[in-house]
Amino acid sequence: MIKKIILLTCILMFSFNCKKKAGLYKGFVVGITGVAIYKAPADLKNKVAVLLRGTEFEVLQEKIKDPALGEKRYWYEVRTNDKTGFLSYDEALINRSISVFEASKENLAGIVTVPVLNLREKPSLESGILAKLPQFSLVNVLAKGSFMEYVKEKHDRWLEISTPEGKRGFIFAGFVNLYPAVEAQAAIERKEISLNGYFQITRPGAKFTVSPDGDAVTSDTEGQCGNMHPDFFPAEKEFGVVTSKSYLNGKTFYKIEMVEYQEFDCGLAASGWVNSEYGKFYDPSEFSEYSLSNPSATLERSDISALKSAVGNDFNAISSSAEALNVSAQNSQGFYIVTAIKGYKNSRNAGNYSQQQFILKRENGTSSIVSSPIPGELKITDLDGDGIKEVLATVSMRSSDSTTILGFVDGKYITVKSVSSEEGNGSHLALDSNNIITETSYLYDEAKQESKDIVLKYKYNKGKLIKL
């Protein structure tokens, strides 16, 4: 009898496990504050749990339409330990609080390009080290992380990989070169190494190839983010961003990667190899020196020291620009909206860069920054009719936006009001044709379980908002 009970228990346990829903692929919580999972898609009132940073989970179902927004927002169904719930795609695409690792559909191999690369338990620099992979090690790519990020000045994504010895873990893709598996051994023989710098095209006819001295990169060549855009490669006199160096048949080749700046896309616009005979390589310090000696025509010498102090040593004077800002009818000279570039950007907005906007003042041969960094799209207008212009800066994203009003006070632009909203919560500013500023705050009343709007109206006057 006891044996029958034990047998029946085992059968029931086996049956339960068989019915357990299989996961599609894995993911990890990478956000500092963790992430909440909910009982149902968009059911923000019913939280199942908060998954802490470093938590591993399974994706059970993907691309679940939002009940209210439909295809404008999708959800994952996930499971971790004994808990099952739902996560918004926005956590991966916008907030970047999770990274999911869908199995790679390509048969890719990677070659380590740095002297030593750590193989980690999870996709994080804080994770434990499983092994140290020496330069030119061959790895098999199993899955790619869902977004690109910066690690030690490299802009790429985490990879789940396996080694020929059977070890499995995570490495950062910025420190390997990826190839179709059948081409990997040839890449090892070329002794490709990781390299940071810039390559200036100095001769016409430069050819960019998929591999050193290989086939040309075309619009049909596949990249990490879709097909390549060869028009983003540097033209004559322009620079390309160098990520690797290789030797083949006595020739030196540099790998060029040009990224188009985008909010949500990973943005790899063009990647290919170029023969060193078509130009000159600059390491970061040499490029910085060249940049400061050859600034944009819109910048004056006095601007450069002010911007370098505000932005940092990797300020690029070639790609930065200044546009006159007419603060008032009486003073049309001296104030400029400056877009300061770190890294490199060409005329097609491709390179590897970040940018900040400032207001700069030129006076008596000197330049000074007269504002904090200003994000987003700018609207310049006189809000109070005193002849001095104010600045409205707006950042619009898929599920959030922010607006900042800057006023001219005591010779500088200061923040007068800044609001933001996300997923229907927060505040929004709007300006009508009479320069009336309307602030609408969207609040959720937990007790009444309903949303309500609070609307306030203001008039701007000399650095202050007057409530109407």
| DSSP secondary structure code for residue 121 in this structure | S
Q: Same structural domain for residues 339 and 414?
A: no
The CATH number of the domain where 74 resides is what?
2.30.30.170
Distance from C-alpha of 156 to C-alpha of 175, rounded to nearest angstrom: 9
In a domain, 378, yes or no: no
Q: Which domain holds residue 241?
A: 190-282
Distance from C-alpha of 209 to C-alpha of 216, rounded to nearest angstrom: 4
In a domain, 7, yes or no: no
> Could you say which of 132, 159, 185 is where a domain stops?
185
Q: Same structural domain for residues 168 and 92?
A: no
In a domain, 8, yes or no: no
Q: Are 416 and 431 in contact (CB under 8 A)?
A: no
Q: Nearest 5°: CA angle at 414, between 412 and 419?
A: 160
Q: Same structural domain for residues 195 and 248?
A: yes
> Could you say which of 66, 82, 101 is where a domain stops?
101
The position carrying tokens 């060409």 is 346
Q: Same structural domain for residues 300 and 361?
A: yes
Beta bridge partners of 65: 74
Q: Are 62 and 24 in contact (CB under 8 A)?
A: yes
Q: What is the CA radius of gyration of the chain?
A: 27
Distance from C-alpha of 461 to C-alpha of 464, rounded to nearest angstrom: 5
Q: What are phi and psi of 285, to 5 degrees?
A: -70, -40
Distance from C-alpha of 212 to C-alpha of 91, rounded to nearest angstrom: 38
Q: Same structural domain for residues 435 and 399?
A: yes
In a domain, 10, yes or no: no
Q: Same structural domain for residues 231 and 295?
A: no
The count of C-alpha atoms lying within 13 angstroms of the C-alpha of 263, restricted to the half-sphere facing its C-beta, is: 12
In a domain, 4, yes or no: no
Q: Same structural domain for residues 278 and 288?
A: no
Q: Same structural domain for residues 362 and 407?
A: no
Task: Check residue 182 and give its pLDDT.
Answer: 84
Q: Are 64 and 41 in contact (CB under 8 A)?
A: yes
Task: Check residue 91 and give its pLDDT.
Answer: 80
Which residues contact residue 217 at a Cβ distance below 8 angstroms, ignoring those fewer than 6 apart? 208, 209, 210, 228, 230, 233, 270, 271, 272
| DSSP secondary structure code for residue 294 in this structure | S
Q: Are 437 and 465 in contact (CB under 8 A)?
A: yes
Distance from C-alpha of 382 to C-alpha of 395, rounded to nearest angstrom: 20
| Helix (H/G/I), strand (E/B), else coil: 435 | coil
Distance from C-alpha of 176 to C-alpha of 102, rounded to nearest angstrom: 19
pLDDT tens track, the chain, 468 positions: 544 444 444 444 444 444 566 788 999 998 888 899 999 998 988 999 999 989 999 999 999 998 888 888 899 999 998 899 999 888 877 778 899 998 888 888 999 988 999 999 999 999 999 999 999 899 999 999 988 788 887 778 899 999 999 999 999 998 998 888 888 888 888 888 888 899 999 999 999 998 888 889 988 887 666 678 888 999 999 999 998 899 888 899 999 988 875 544 456 688 899 999 999 999 988 998 899 999 999 999 899 989 988 888 788 999 999 988 765 544 555 888 899 998 888 888 888 888 889 989 888 889 999 888 888 888 888 888 888 888 888 887 655 678 889 888 888 888 888 888 765 567 878 888 888 988 888 766 555 656 677 889 999 998 899 998
In a domain, 11, yes or no: no
Distance from C-alpha of 436 to C-alpha of 39, rounded to nearest angstrom: 42
- The domain tally of the chain equals 5
Task: Check residue 447 and give its pLDDT.
Answer: 58
Task: Check residue 48 and give its pLDDT.
Answer: 92
CA-nearest of 375, 409, 419, 420 to 393 is: 375
Whole-number Cα distances in Å, 265 to 92, 93, 155, 228, 444: 12, 8, 13, 14, 32
Task: Check residue 148 and give its pLDDT.
Answer: 79
E strands present in 113-260: 116-120, 129-134, 138-144, 149-151, 154-156, 158-162, 168-172, 176-180, 193-201, 222-223, 226-227, 239-248, 251-260
Q: Same structural domain for residues 201 and 174?
A: no
Q: Same structural domain for residues 139 and 216?
A: no
In a domain, 85, yes or no: yes
Task: Check residue 398 and give its pLDDT.
Answer: 56
In a domain, 454, yes or no: yes
Q: Are 270 and 228 in contact (CB under 8 A)?
A: yes
| Number of residues that this document lists for the chain | 468
Task: Check residue 96 and give its pLDDT.
Answer: 82
The CATH number of the domain where 207 resides is what?
2.30.30
Q: Same structural domain for residues 29 and 109?
A: no
Handedness of CA 123, 127, 128, 129 (dihedral sign): positive
Q: Same structural domain for residues 369 and 287?
A: yes
> Could you say which of 185, 220, 239 is where a domain stops?
185
Question: Which amino acid does the sequence have at 188?
Answer: I
